[in-house]
Amino acid sequence: MAARVSYLNREDLPEADREIFDNLIRERGTPVGNIFRTLAHTPGLLRRFLALGGELRNRTALDPKLRELAILTVGRIADAQYEFTHHWNLALRVGVTRDQLRALAEWEKSSAFTDRERAVIRYAAEATGKVRVSDAAWSACTEFLDTRRMMELVQNVAFYNMVVRILEPCQVELEPGAKKN
């Protein structure tokens, strides 16, 4: 499957927008990912996408492990391999275990997850698959997440549902060499 939208390079951008790629390389220490190269066709929106994504990833009070389990759930349900692969590796860095990663499809029955982790996964699964979230799923999370952290979970799941809805219609491909560690 080939990407439906061309991947732009730094030189393809207008001079005033090239700093977007420069900042990505400086901040991440890696070449610019295909999702960003796709979104570069709309540089103003890409700037805002990066700002919101950066805020959700780096400046929230939500436990990063819970955040990554929620994001992986979105990627798994959407069958978005780009998202799932990149966040698999991020999840490992924040303490999600390989056993948990391998058990994500069986999260309801697996002993690899705590009750809190299951609650977050359930919330992400319902928000992704049904949009409406049951009172039971919401309440299970608010038993241990204060309002701020709950809203950070809501916004992470919503943002990454947007991400997979960009990745899949545009058929964004994994970068050469990208794989689950």
Would the pLDDT of 1 be above 80? Answer: no
Instruction: Give per-residue pLDDT as tens, 13-28.
Output: 999 999 999 999 999 8
From CA 103, how far away is CA 126, in angstroms rounded? 18
Helices 43-58 and 147-170 meet at what angle, rounded to 10?
Answer: 140
Question: pLDDT category, 76, cuts 50, 70, 90?
Answer: very high
Angle subtended at Cα 36 by Cα 85 and Cα 160, rounded to the nearest 5 degrees? 55
Burial class (CB in 10 A: 0-12, 13-18, 19+), 89: middle
Chain position carrying tokens 């780096």 = 58
Q: For the chain, which residues make up each domain, given as ranges? A: 10-58, 64-170
**Averaged pLDDT for residues 159-170:** 98
Let me know if the fold of 10-58 is the same as that of 64-170.
no
Give the fold, CATH level 3, of 64-170. Answer: AhpD-like (1.20.1290)
Contact 57, 87 (CB under 8 A): no
What CATH architecture is 10-58?
Up-down Bundle (1.20)
Is the pLDDT confidence value at 138 over 70? yes
Between helix 147-170 and helix 115-129 the angle, nearest 10°, is 50
Q: Could you write out the three-class secondary structure of 119-134?
A: HHHHHHHHHHHCCCCC
Contacts of 113 (CB under 8 A, 6+ apart): 69, 100, 103, 107, 121
Quote the CA–CA distance of 119 and 133 in Å, as a whole number: 12
Q: Do 175 and 144 meet the contact criterion of CB atoms below 8 Å apart?
A: no
At 181 the pLDDT is 85
| Residue 85 reports pLDDT greater than 90 | yes
pLDDT tens-digit map of 56-67: 999 999 999 999
